[in-house]
A and B are shown apart, each in its own frame.
Chain A
Amino acid sequence: MTAVRAVLFVPEMLVVLALPPLLMSVIAKTKAWFGGRVGPPWLQPYFDLHKLIQKNAVYSKTTTWIFRAGPIISLAALLTAATLIPVLSNDSLLGFSGDIILLAYLLALGRMFTVLAAMDTGSSFEGMGASREVTFGAMSEPALFLAFVVMAVATKSLQLSEMIGPKLLPEWQIAGPAMILVVGALLVVLLTEACRVPVDDPATHLELTMIHEVMVLDHSGPEFAFITYGAALKFTLLGSILVHAAIPHPEGFNVLSPPLRVLELGGLAVLVGAIESAMARFRLNRVPMLIAGATVLSAIAVVLVLMRRTV
């Protein structure tokens, strides 16, 4: 049974693994369009990854094995998370009841090793980036969890694929306002976790203002490829949670659903690109305000959804 299921999931997983760089490309193209430029070719992220894989890695003498393990463990954690999140269909490969906790801490594990690898280099810039990453990560976690609580209450399930599956559809009619708040909170969480504007600027060139990019300055070659790919994969995974929560597909929609999901993820990438083009990143001390705002949105959504339950 599980073996058959696993085989059935092979094509979907392949698409999921191949998709992330393309989404990055969509964001880059959107930003280029807003700036009146043509932008890099669609397949540029794939070329970059290919080039990086072929290079040799350079290690500083001050680093230890943690520095080498960092990118690998982060990517492994994200790949494991990919088996828990429904991306294209309404089902996930290894979903079980309570997998949201595992999912949240897989993301945290990946972040922890990126941070440790950054601290291992002993560079003051990387330490600064690590401290910011951990601060914002810790702040966005309550927002994510409260959003999960809303969906868990709404669908009476603790399995992510059911929480954001077809059961969520009636909830949009019962507690529409609450769901809108959840989607807003998830969008902020996505922007924070994936290090996009207005929280972090992935294209910035000054170490002092970077968050994610500054932590990976010392990585090179295949390991940098892992990190780049991991960042794109994280965007795809969190993005698909957002898309599934925002547009639940009804059951028995199997053939049309995956291509639609790809389009929706593309739409999300365009939206993120548009946000990046339309606004500047926040001052670093304004960012906690944004994330706290997302937490508050989720908290109000919890109250609304609980109230609807008990009445």
Chain B
Amino acid sequence: MLQSAIDSILVLAVLLNLAMLATSRMAACIRTFALQSLLLALLPIAVGLRHETIPGAHAFVITAGAVGLKVFLIPWILLRVLRTGEIHREIEPFIGFTASVMLGAVIIVASFAFAKRMPLPTEAPTDLLVPVSIATLFNGLLMLVSRLKAITQVLGYLVVENGIFVFGLLLLEQTPVLVELGILLDLFVGVFIMGIIVYHIRREFDHMDTHLLDALRES
């Protein structure tokens, strides 16, 4: 029962990756990210429950941190940045929406094939965990490189972090809470700074298309 709940969460997380690749509305994209983070944040508790009857405080702290930061705070910051701008859609990414969904599916299949050959330090709680984390990581990377707007690039970065978060579940018992919280703090600072950068890009150029930063050259 618990096993299939964990599996369902992981499969759903992969599908949300594809949904993020498919949506052009940035607000919807941010909300999808929040939903994915919420689902993934439940995993430490679920995995903990599988090992012992009551998961340690460790799992609860990580879950609380992930929910607070990635489900509420970061989406709130991003939506705020979005609201102050005029652009709400990704219009023409480098890779089209249908093509990037297809590419995302190829990444997922490839990560399943890859995960099979990967030696692991500890046994995974479920055999879906590693492929899903690799797939999420690379789908985030795809979003990061194929999108033009600063916000979607930030989202791509956050999705990459979600992938790492899933991978971290492998070492749930071994990693100190401090390290996990340090990662979350880094993430928060990163998004905070990127929010400021997006704001400045927009003030300078009246939009947040990072594409035009290419033209900045010393002459």
Interface-central residue, A292, A295, A297, by most chain B CB under 10 Å: A292
Taking CB atoms, residues of chain A closer than 8 Å to B18 are: 293, 296
How far in angstroms is the closest Cβ of chain B from A168?
Answer: 16
The yes or no answer to A304 lying at the interface (CB within 8 A) is: yes
Taking CB atoms, residues of chain A closer than 8 Å to B97 are: 289
A290-B12 Cα distance, complex, nearest whole Å: 17
How far in angstroms is the closest Cβ of chain A from B46?
Answer: 15
The yes or no answer to A307 lying at the interface (CB within 8 A) is: yes
Number of residues on chain A facing chain B (CB within 8 A)? 19
A297-B8 Cα distance, complex, nearest whole Å: 14
Determine chain B's interface SS by DSSP, over half rule. helix
Q: Which of A177, A296, A300, A307 sits near B127, CB closer than 8 Å?
A: A307
Residue-wise, chain A 252-288 has the 8 Å CB interface mask toward B (1 for contact) of 0000000000000000000000000000000000001
How far in angstroms is the closest Cβ of chain A from B110?
Answer: 10
Taking CB atoms, residues of chain A closer than 8 Å to B102 are: 292, 296
A292 and B7: CB pair below 8 A? Answer: no
Q: Which B88-122 residues have C-beta < 8 A from chain A?
A: 97-98, 101-102, 104-105, 108-109, 112, 116
The yes or no answer to A208 lying at the interface (CB within 8 A) is: no
A304 and B11: CB pair below 8 A? Answer: yes
Q: Which of B11, B22, B101, B109 sits near A177, CB closer than 8 Å?
A: B11
In the complex, what residue of chain B is closest to A300 when comparing beta carbons? Answer: B108
Known A293-B18, A307-B112; judge A300-B98 contact (CB<8 A).
Answer: no
Interface-central residue, A173, A289, A304, by most chain B CB under 10 Å: A304
Taking CB atoms, residues of chain B closer than 8 Å to A300 are: 11, 14-15, 105, 108-109
Residue-wise, chain B 1-13 has the 8 Å CB interface mask toward A (1 for contact) of 0001001100110
Known A177-B8, A311-B127; judge A292-B98 contact (CB<8 A).
Answer: yes
In the complex, what residue of chain A is closest to B19 when comparing beta carbons? Answer: A293
Determine chain A's interface SS by DSSP, over half rule. helix
How far in angstroms is the closest Cβ of chain B from A24?
Answer: 32
The yes or no answer to A176 lying at the interface (CB within 8 A) is: yes
Known A289-B22, A289-B97, A296-B18; judge A303-B7 contact (CB<8 A).
Answer: no
Taking CB atoms, residues of chain B closer than 8 Å to A181 are: 11, 15
Taking CB atoms, residues of chain B closer than 8 Å to A215 are: none
Taking CB atoms, residues of chain B closer than 8 Å to A173 are: 4
Q: Which B125-145 residues have C-beta < 8 A from chain A?
A: 127-128, 131
How far in angstroms is the closest Cβ of chain B from A193?
Answer: 20
The yes or no answer to A82 lying at the interface (CB within 8 A) is: no
Q: Which of B4, B116, B131 sits near A176, CB closer than 8 Å?
A: B4
A178-B10 Cα distance, complex, nearest whole Å: 12
Taking CB atoms, residues of chain B closer than 8 Å to A241 are: none
Q: Which of B7, B22, B109, B131 sits near A293, CB closer than 8 Å?
A: B22
In the complex, what residue of chain A is closest to B113 when comparing beta carbons? Answer: A303
A116-B8 Cα distance, complex, nearest whole Å: 45
Interface residues on B, range: 20 to 34
B105 and A299: CB pair below 8 A? Answer: yes
How far in angstroms is the closest Cβ of chain B from A184?
Answer: 9
In the complex, what residue of chain B is closest to A289 when comparing beta carbons? Answer: B98
A292-B127 Cα distance, complex, nearest whole Å: 27
How far in angstroms is the closest Cβ of chain B from A300?
Answer: 6
How far in angstroms is the closest Cβ of chain A from B29?
Answer: 15
Q: Which of A176, A292, A304, A311 sits near B101, CB closer than 8 Å?
A: A292
B8 and A176: CB pair below 8 A? Answer: yes
A70-B158 Cα distance, complex, nearest whole Å: 54
Taking CB atoms, residues of chain A closer than 8 Å to B128 are: 304, 307
Interface-central residue, B8, B11, B108, by most chain A CB under 10 Å: B11
A289 and B7: CB pair below 8 A? Answer: no
A181-B18 Cα distance, complex, nearest whole Å: 13
B112 and A303: CB pair below 8 A? Answer: yes
B7 and A176: CB pair below 8 A? Answer: yes
How far in angstroms is the closest Cβ of chain B from A54?
Answer: 47
Known A292-B98, A292-B102; judge A303-B109 contact (CB<8 A).
Answer: yes
Taking CB atoms, residues of chain A closer than 8 Å to B22 are: 289, 293
Taking CB atoms, residues of chain B closer than 8 Å to A299 are: 105, 109
Q: Which A215-239 residues have C-beta < 8 A from chain B?
A: none
Known A303-B108, A303-B112; judge A293-B101 contact (CB<8 A).
Answer: yes
**A-B complex: 3 closest residue pairs judged by Cβ atoms:** A177-B11, A296-B105, A303-B112
Known: A293-B18, A296-B101, A299-B105. 16 other contacts (CB 8 A): A177-B4, A177-B7, A178-B11, A181-B15, A292-B98, A293-B22, A293-B101, A296-B104, A296-B105, A297-B15, A300-B11, A300-B14, A300-B105, A300-B109, A303-B109, A304-B128
Q: 17 A-B pairs, CB-CB below 8 angstroms?
A: A173-B4, A176-B4, A176-B7, A177-B8, A177-B11, A177-B12, A180-B8, A289-B22, A289-B97, A292-B101, A292-B102, A293-B18, A295-B105, A296-B104, A297-B15, A299-B109, A303-B109
